[in-house]
Amino acid sequence: MPIPAPRPSARQSVIADTTVALGALVPLALLQNMDVVIVGWLGSSGVGGYAAISTACKVPVFIGLAVANFLLPEAARRRKEGRPAGGTLAIALAFVVTPGLVLAAIGLVGAKWLLGLVFGPHLTGAAPALWVLALSMTLLAVTLMFTTYLLGAGVRRVVGVLAVATVATAGALVSAGGGAMATAVAALAAESVTALAVGLLVVQLHHADRRAAGPAPDAVEPRGPAAVGDPQPEGGFPAPV
């Protein structure tokens, strides 16, 4: 028996969802990698050292993000069922943030040692900027996690936010001039604003859910046995049928 062709409405829905997903993934891919491209495009002699810290910053953060992605479906399921999803989302956020903060702490005290151990002593020139870029990549991972959650909830406005953020981030990175520390600081500032904007969309989503749920109906207290002082019908108790 031949399989019936999908209805046009279903096909259009799939195309629309795919377009939205691509519209979000392309800016996220640019936000992850264009700092290295811009530093190289500006002709900085320290592009190799900057590429080393960029690679080092992405590894632990996205390990945490991979773990957090196991919790995102649970948060989405709880929200769909009308139950609070903030706690599950907060746990996922902790998994994302913790590895990046650990790397930033290591970068403050032993960045040159770490880069020399992993990439060799010839790629330690950008070591002082490691902790700054680690914080930037942590915020980018938060943005990616929030974006995944919002797309699952059908919030398509996040695509426009990411598009604007990508253009603004590119401008900030170019204005940094190609220096490792200046580029890392510009990336941190841009990613902070982006994560804040996407996080506000999550807050608005949960606020809208609470408003849609409405106030909880007042519980009706069951009446117990009639008290002695309660008025009784004529003819004694119980009332005649």
pLDDT tens across 117-126, in order? 999 999 999 9
| CB of 169 closer than 8 Å to CB of 191 | yes
Helix (H, G, I), strand (E, B) or coil at 206: helix
**At 93, is the secondary structure helix, strand, or coil?**
helix
Question: Residue 24 belongs to what H/E stretch?
Answer: helix 8-41
Give whole-number Cα distances, 124 to 50, 162, 168, 215, 227, in Å: 9, 32, 29, 58, 84
CB-based contacts of 154: which residues, under 8 Å, 6+ apart?
A: none
Determine the Cα angle at 203 with ends 200 and 205, to 5°.
110
List Cβ neighbours of 196 (8 Å cut-off, separation of 6 or more).
none
pLDDT mean across residues, the chain = 82
Helix axes 86-119, 47-68, angle to 10 degrees: 150
Tell me the HSE value of 222 on the side-chain side, using a 13 A CA sphere. 2
Better pLDDT: 13 or 188: 188
Please state, in angstroms and as integers, the Cα–Cα distance from residue 135 to each residue in 37, 113, 234, following that order: 19, 19, 79
Closest alpha carbon to 54 in 166, 130, 139 = 130
Is residue 209 scored above 70 in pLDDT? yes
Please say whether the dihedral angle defined by the alpha carbons of residues 206, 207, 212 and 214, taken in this order, is positive or negative. Answer: positive
Residue with tokens 């506000």: 200
Residue-wise pLDDT tens digits, 37-54? 999 999 777 889 999 999
Q: What mean pLDDT do residues 165-175 have?
A: 96
Rounded distance between C-alpha atoms, residue 178 and residue 100, angstroms? 23
Average pLDDT over residues 8-30: 80
| The amino acid at 82 | G
The pLDDT score that the predictor gives to residue 157 is 92
SS3 content of the chain, % helix, strand, coil (to 5): 75, 0, 25
Residue 172's CB is within 10 A of a number of other CB atoms, namely 20
Sketch the domain layout of the chain as residue ranges: 15-211
State phi, psi for 169 to the nearest 5 degrees. -65, -40
Token pair for 222 = 């069951």
Distance from C-alpha of 145 to C-alpha of 205, rounded to nearest angstrom: 15
Categorize the per-residue pLDDT at 187 as very low, low, confident or very high, splitting at 50, 70 and 90. Answer: very high
For the stretch 62-113, pLDDT in tens is 777 787 777 777 777 777 777 777 788 888 888 889 989 999 999 999 999 9
pLDDT band at 134 (very low <50, low <70, confident <90, very high): very high
Tell me the pLDDT band of 7, cut-offs 50, 70 and 90: low
In this structure, are residues 193 and 142 in contact, taking their beta carbons and an 8 Å threshold? no
